[in-house]
Amino acid sequence: MKSPVRKMFDGIASRYDFLNHFLSCYQDVLWRRYCCKCLKKMVAADGADSASDDAQGFARKVRLLDLCGGTGDFANTFRKIFEGRCACKCSSQKETSHGLVVDPAVIGDFSYGMLAEVKPKKIDAHAVQLDAMKMPFAECQFDVILNGFGMRNVPDARGALMESYRVLDAGGYLCVLEFFSPRNFFNKFFYKVLAPLFIPVMGAFFSGKRDAYEYLVNSIIRFLPVDEFCKLAEECGFEVKKVKMFDGGISFGVFLRKPVGTP
């Protein structure tokens, strides 16, 4: 049977990207870019530490999974940034690929409606329908896993973290970009007072699905605060490499690593 969350994402898929950008005033685009730039630095630095293939003139392949990847925006941003094709002006230095080449990405999501929106974007990726808590992949298949605004929607965050750990190769990164449960006064005011006033109304106006946008606000309040999420990730075996707060805590980028030398 289709879960209510899956049905909800199927129902808003065609308006999802537009509303994401509109409701966040395009901040979601900048947050994804920041996360991908940071990952690029981390992955490039790891290559420089080891006897890199790059030094011998070979490109290093990066195997990417965009988990809860929806319409594929995070994977698309990742590819552009890793291959030095980002058109943004947020970096003064000319971007290079650092000898990194991204394999065709896997965009994994349980909503067929969301995955159907990947195709028109012509991303070099395979869309795979899957459940984040039970993925159809063998161990250690990926070097980087992205999870943009998906963790909060999964019924069991521990299960999704453990499953991500299993399919990630040792030394690989999991980047979770998420709205965590508010902790400070500003965030509590934003999510408990302001957001319930305007997000469901705007969502209803543009997509006709008020329930989905009420769910969005409630799911943020119900989710873990970022520090508890980091503790949970450590319990699942990850090292917390970096936590980046965006816009006063409206969202966070959490960079986790599966320790080198672990099976």
Ligand X SMILES: C[S@@+](CC[C@H](N)C(=O)[O-])C[C@H]1O[C@@H](n2cnc3c(N)ncnc32)[C@H](O)[C@@H]1O
Residues within the interface to ligand X (CB under 6 A): 5-6, 9, 20, 68-70, 73-74, 109-111, 114, 130-133, 148-150, 153-154
Task: Return phi, psi of residue 106, to 5°.
Answer: -105, 125
Query: Residue type at 186?
Result: F
CB of 5 to ligand X, least distance (A): 6
Q: With respect to ligand X, which residue has the nearer C-beta, 62 or 176?
A: 176
C-beta neighbour count of 252 within 10 angstroms = 20
Q: Where are the alpha helices (DSSP H) in the chain?
A: 4-23, 27-49, 73-82, 112-116, 157-167, 185-189, 195-207, 210-222, 226-235
Of 29 and 42, nearer to ligand X (C-beta) is 29
Axis-axis angle for helices 4-23, 210-222 (nearest 10): 90
Least distance to ligand X, CB of residue 150, Å: 4
Question: Is 236:215 a contact under the CB 8 Å cutoff?
Answer: no
CB 124 within 8 A of CB 103: no
- Residue 55: its H or E element: none
Token digits of residue 39: 């990952």
Give the nearest distance from C-beta 95 to ligand X in angstroms: 21
- Closest approach of ligand X to the CB of residue 156, in Å: 9
Beta carbon of residue 231, minimum distance to ligand X (angstroms, whole number): 22
Task: Report in angstroms how near the CB of residue 141 gets to ligand X at its nearest.
Answer: 16
C-beta atoms surrounding 118 within 10 Å = 23
Which helix (H) or strand (E) segment holds residue 68: the answer is none
Residue 166 carries which DSSP code?
Answer: H
Q: Which is nearer to ligand X, 4 or 57 (CB)?
A: 4
Closer residue to ligand X, CB minimum distance, 44 or 118: 118
Secondary element (H or E) of residue 209 = none
Token pair of 227 as six digits: 């520090």
Q: 153 or 164: whose CB is closer to ligand X?
A: 153
**C-beta of 5 vs 243, nearer to ligand X:** 5
**What is the nearest approach in angstroms of ligand X to the Cβ of residue 139?**
19
Give the list of residues 6+ apart from residue 218 with CB closer than 8 angstroms, or none.
none
Residue 255: closest CA among 135, 187, 168, 131: 168
With respect to ligand X, which residue has the nearer C-beta, 213 or 238? Answer: 213
Q: In terms of CB distance, is 44 or 106 closer to ligand X?
A: 106
Nearest approach, Cβ of residue 59 and ligand X (Å): 27
